Amino acid sequence: MSDEASGRDEPRWHFGRWIGVAAAAAFIALLAYGLVKQAPNTTIDDALAQQQPVAAPGFELEVLDEGDLAVTTALGRRVSAATTDGRLSLAELRGTPVVLNFWASWCVPCRIEAPVLEQGWRAAREQGVLFLGLNLQDVREDAREFIERFKSTFPHVREPDKRTLQSYGGTGLPETYFIRADGRVVGHVIGAISSAQLAQGVAAAKSGRPIATGIGGARQEAP
């Protein structure tokens, strides 16, 4: 092959090589992005492992069901006043310990823990602790049927997607977070919660002292 022919092929070869390198780099970047996007946010659990409270991610959502708050003490009157516009934000609950439970009507383990939560709420509300259900990725009518079926009397808000769950680091249902009066998370249970775990979490929310993340019973991945 003449030097002239070789010289003509060389730029073409270099161009093809750089195209290959660029494609490989793009694939690696895409893969890395996918891994980062899928990786759960462990901020809350990492902080609790160090016995450190961490600020609860805020939200403002549609009220799905107000429950029987209107007939319960000053706590009920306060929350009822906050929901007059049909929405409720976590910021409006500042000053009140909160048990935040993520659930959906299609979540089988959520049905297992529903009676446990209701029993715990009936005891805790007299101590000034609010239970709040956060229904997600659900049909509104199905969610309300679930509330009626399990005779849930604490308030519930609704979110059509799972952004709030993701902001808390949750990846499945049910998940329960215990938030003290200043709006910081002091406890977390992954999966269907037991009566003992619920009582321990309520005590942490009241006292403000963090407890390690607990593993509950059955759990279902959020789609």
Say which range, 39-43, 94-98, 186-190, 205-209, has the weakest mean pLDDT.
39-43
The 10s digit of each residue's pLDDT in 120-161 is: 999 998 888 999 999 999 999 999 999 999 999 999 999 999
User: How much is the pLDDT for 33?
Assistant: 39
174-181 average pLDDT score: 98
Count of residues in the chain: 223
Question: 3-state DSSP: the chain helix, strand, coil percent, rounded to 5?
Answer: 50, 20, 30
% of the chain exceeding 70 in pLDDT: 78
Three-class SS state of 114: helix
* Rounded-to-integer distance, Cα 102 and Cα 131, Å: 11
Instruction: Decide if 53 contacts 46 (C-beta within 8 A).
Output: no
* Rounded-to-integer distance, Cα 1 and Cα 12, Å: 16
* Rounded-to-integer distance, Cα 103 and Cα 137, Å: 9
Strands 156-159 and 60-65 come out as antiparallel
The 10s digit of each residue's pLDDT in 17-39 is: 555 544 444 444 444 434 334 45
Q: In the 8-state DSSP scheme, what is residue 171?
A: -
Instruction: Decide if 78 contacts 57 (C-beta within 8 A).
Output: no
Q: Who contacts 170 (Cβ-Cβ below 8 Å, separation ≥6)?
A: 40, 102, 190, 222
Record the pTM. Answer: 0.81
Instruction: Decide if 131 contacts 125 (C-beta within 8 A).
Output: yes
- 89 strand-pairing partners: 60
